[in-house]
């Protein structure tokens, strides 16, 4: 027999699974540290590419001057200054990534907790229905 | 006010019912306006400016996710700029790449903001954006709005200096010079920097205030946001001499307030939950469920209750004891609302949000009249 409240609960679960749940489940399959580390590594890669491109443009901007003075420039100091800027850029990008993805992980875990509670409720509904069916069978 | 509420309910119910058609249609309109604006402002590749191409691209966008409009828009811009000069494509391409690194990592759902920011600049109502972003977005909307502002100023500069950027010589020194001019234009544009800072501060302030647990928080957020936006822009103008039009700022801010009020009316406490179709199974059945959100307001019922003279006298006598003046004619526009003394309504929403919840009556509505 159809159980209306069970169908409503199943509908809600199915709706979550096909919508927001997909992302939450993907995030929830990681430990917190692993997930955030993965995203920070991605950010470091993106940050490095972005810094490389911007540095390339910087060189192109003053290319003639740079080539004229290349033997007079203290390359060690220049390299150190570039490295410091790189670390600051990537560091800032990573900190923002950390904050954003901590919030996203927390939200996904909260959604999954609600989803799991609903699954437990569904299981208990099934148990109750089975028990009732058994009692009906015993009574008859 | 009740009439407006009814119109809103009609729109909501229409959207809920025809969501499958509304979303592609809205995406088509947005994409069409975006491509037309691009073609109007930077029309260097003649083949892209034709109406059939624009229609085809817009139609394509209506079937794909929102971010597709953005990607296609960037491709169209780069193709236009390619017809202008390679250096412009290089700088713009690098900028868009950096923008995508920020945007797709942190706020990939803010497509509408990113697209609307340059459009609002073109329509001369840019101050609408930070207020709306703060009201409906997240703190990450700062990124999408900032990218939108920079995109507008970059393309505005290119459109205004097309003659100088046009490919004329194949001399590498000339190419480097053009590169330098473009980088300078982007880096030394104080107006753009002030606007990015003002919009970012405004978005954060509006977002923080609208989430406060106080009455009229949306209205307070809108007004405070506008004032902060004006103050930051004025301070930036004084500090960096950006030559921003003060009259434009004031008029734009008033326009922003009007748009924000309209937005608030259509979004504040309104659930545009859509019809959902899900399928699942258990041991006995396959279920194909269509969950339709319930509408909360009866749109057409209207009852006029007339109190006759004799009853009036009785009522007057009863009221005079309570010190109240009786009403002769009571018009009920939306009788299905069940009103509580505390000013909240109970309604049950079915479908994917199957729960009893309390809906707050919007500000300014006298709940005794509903």
Instruction: Kindly report the nearest CA distance between residue B161 and chain A, in angstroms.
Output: 19
The mean pLDDT values, 10 residues at a time, for chain A of 140 residues are: 83 86 90 94 93 88 80 86 94 93 93 93 89 80
Is the pLDDT at B337 greater than 80? The verdict is: no
Instruction: State residue B244's pLDDT score.
Output: 80
Is the pLDDT at B330 greater than 50? The verdict is: no
**B114-154 pLDDT, tens digit each:** 889 999 998 888 899 999 999 888 888 898 899 999 999 98
In this structure, is residue B138 part of a structural domain? yes
Instruction: Kindly report the nearest CA distance between residue A23 and chain B, in angstroms.
Output: 14
**B100-116 pLDDT, tens digit each:** 888 888 878 888 888 89
The rounded distance, in Å, linking the Cα atoms of B362 and B331 is: 20
Q: Encoding tokens for residue B154?
A: 């970059």
In sequence order, what DSSP letters do the residues of chain A get, joined into one string? ---HHHHHHHHHHHHHHHTHHHHHHHHHTS-HHHHHHHHHHHHHHHHHHHHHHHHHHHHHHTHHHHHHTTTTS-HHHHHHHHHHHHHHHHHHHHHHHHHHHHHHHHHHHHHHHHHHHHHHHHHHHHHHHHHHHHHHHHH-
Q: Which chain B residues have a beta carbon less than 8 Å from that of A54?
A: 94, 98
In this structure, is residue B17 part of a structural domain? no
Higher pLDDT, B283 or A86: A86
**B152-194 pLDDT, tens digit each:** 998 888 888 877 777 666 666 677 788 888 888 888 888 899 9
Global ipTM: 0.75
Is the pLDDT at B357 greater than 60? The verdict is: no
Averaged pLDDT of chain B: 77
The rounded distance, in Å, linking the Cα atoms of A19 and B244 is: 45
Running DSSP on this structure, what letter comes out for residue B295?
P
In percent, the amount of chain B with pLDDT more than 90 equals: 24
Q: Encoding tokens for residue B258?
A: 């009007």
Q: Do B291 and A15 touch (CB under 8 A)?
A: yes
Sequence-distant contacts of B81-86: CB under 8 A, at least 24 apart: B81/B42, B81/B44, B81/B158, B82/B45, B83/B44, B83/B45, B84/B42, B84/B44, B84/B158, B84/B162, B84/B165, B84/B166, B84/B167, B85/B165, B85/B166, B85/B167, B85/B178, B86/B167, B86/B175
| Sign of the dihedral through C-alpha A65, B191, B245, B157 | positive
Q: Which domain holds residue B166?
A: 23-267
Q: Do B98 and A46 touch (CB under 8 A)?
A: no
Instruction: State residue A58's pLDDT score.
Output: 86
The Cα-based distances of A3 to A67, A131, B286, B290 in angstroms read 79, 14, 13, 16
Higher pLDDT, B266 or A94: A94
Q: Do A64 and B176 touch (CB under 8 A)?
A: yes
Is the pLDDT at B338 greater than 50? The verdict is: no
Residue (of A78, A60, A133) closest to B184 by Cα position: A60
Q: Which chain A residues have a beta carbon less than 8 Å from that of B175?
A: none
The rounded distance, in Å, linking the Cα atoms of B177 and B185 is: 12
- Number of compact structural domains in chain B: 1
- Using 50, 70 and 90 to split pLDDT, how confident is the model at B309? low
Q: How far is CA B294 from the centre of its chain?
A: 25
Is the pLDDT at B98 greater than 80? The verdict is: yes
Is the pLDDT at B349 greater than 70? The verdict is: no
Flag whether the pTM goes above 0.80: no
Instruction: Kindly report the nearest CA distance between residue A93 and chain B, in angstroms.
Output: 9
The rounded distance, in Å, linking the Cα atoms of A103 and B138 is: 12
In this structure, is residue B274 part of a structural domain? no
Shortest CA distance from B91: residue in chain A: A57
In this structure, is residue B337 part of a structural domain? no
Instruction: Kindly report the nearest CA distance between residue A8 and chain B, in angstroms.
Output: 7
Is the pLDDT at B354 greater than 60? The verdict is: no
Helix (H, G, I), strand (E, B), or coil: what is residue B161?
A: coil
HSE, side-chain direction, 13 A CA sphere, residue B303? 10
Q: Encoding tokens for residue A62?
A: 């003053």
Residue from the list A11, A43, A96 with its beta carbon closest to the beta carbon of B289: A11
Running DSSP on this structure, what letter comes out for residue B344?
E
Name residues 7-66 of chain A within 8 A of B (Cβ): 7-8, 10-15, 18, 42-43, 46-47, 49-50, 53-54, 57, 60-61, 63-64
Instruction: State residue B293's pLDDT score.
Output: 67
**Is B75:B53 a contact under the CB 8 Å cutoff?**
no
Q: Do A57 and B173 touch (CB under 8 A)?
A: no
Length of chain A: 140
Residue (of A85, A103, A3) closest to A47 by Cα position: A85
């Amino acid at each position: 027999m159809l159980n209306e409240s069970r169908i409503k609960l199943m509908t809600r679960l199915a709706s979550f699974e096909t919508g927001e749940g997909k992302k939450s489940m993907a995030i929830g399959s990681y430990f917190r540290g692993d997930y955030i580390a993965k995203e920070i590594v991605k950010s470091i890669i993106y940050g490095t590419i972005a810094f490389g491109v911007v540095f390339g443009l910087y060189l192109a901007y003053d290319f003639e001057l740079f080539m004229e003075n290349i033997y007079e420039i203290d390359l060690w100091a220049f390299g150190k200054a570039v490295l410091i800027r790189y670390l600051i850029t990537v560091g800032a990008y990573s900190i923002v990534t950390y904050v954003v993805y901590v919030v996203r992980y927390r939200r996904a875990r909260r959604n999954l907790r609600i989803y799991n509670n609903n699954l437990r409720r569904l299981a208990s509904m099934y148990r109750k229905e089975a028990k009732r069916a058994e009692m009906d069978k015993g009574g008859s | 006010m009740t009439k407006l509420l009814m119109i809103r309910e009609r729109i909501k119910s229409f959207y809920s019912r025809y969501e499958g058609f509304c979303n592609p249609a809205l995406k088509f309109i947005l994409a069409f306006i975006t491509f037309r604006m691009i073609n109007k402002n930077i029309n260097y590749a003649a083949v892209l400016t034709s109406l059939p191409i624009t229609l085809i691209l817009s139609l394509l966008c209506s079937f794909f996710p929102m971010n597709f409009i953005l990607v296609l828009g960037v491709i169209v811009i780069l193709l236009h700029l390619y017809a202008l000069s390679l250096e412009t494509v290089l700088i713009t391409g690098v900028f868009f790449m950096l923008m995508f690194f920020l945007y797709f990592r942190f706020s990939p759902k803010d497509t509408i903001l990113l697209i609307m920011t340059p459009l609002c600049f073109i329509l001369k109502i840019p101050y609408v954006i930070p207020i709306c972003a703060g009201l409906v977005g997240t703190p990450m909307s700062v990124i999408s709005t900032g990218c939108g502002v920079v995109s507008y100023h970059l393309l505005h500069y290119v459109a205004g200096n097309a003659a100088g950027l046009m490919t004329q010589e194949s001399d590498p020194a000339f190419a480097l010079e053009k590169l330098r001019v473009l980088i300078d234009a982007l880096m030394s544009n104080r107006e753009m920097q002030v606007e990015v800072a003002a919009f970012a501060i405004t978005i954060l302030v509006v977002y923080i205030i609208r989430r406060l647990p106080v009455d009229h928080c949306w209205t307070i957020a809108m007004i405070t946001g506008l004032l902060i936006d004006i103050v930051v822009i004025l301070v930036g103008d004084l500090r960096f001499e950006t030559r921003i039009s003060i009259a434009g700022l004031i008029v734009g801010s008033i326009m922003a307030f009007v748009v924000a009020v309209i937005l608030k009316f259509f979004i504040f406490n309104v659930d545009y939950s859509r019809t959902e179709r899900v399928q699942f199974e258990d041991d006995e059945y396959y279920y194909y469920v269509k969950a339709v959100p319930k509408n909360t307001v009866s749109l057409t019922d209207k009852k006029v209750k007339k109190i006759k003279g004799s009853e009036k006298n009785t009522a007057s006598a009863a009221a005079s004891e309570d010190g109240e003046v009786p009403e002769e004619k009571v018009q009920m526009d939306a009788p299905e609302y069940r009103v509580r003394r505390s000013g909240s309504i109970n309604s049950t929403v079915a479908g994917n949000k199957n729960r009893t919840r309390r809906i707050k009556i919007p500000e300014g509505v006298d709940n005794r009249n509903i």
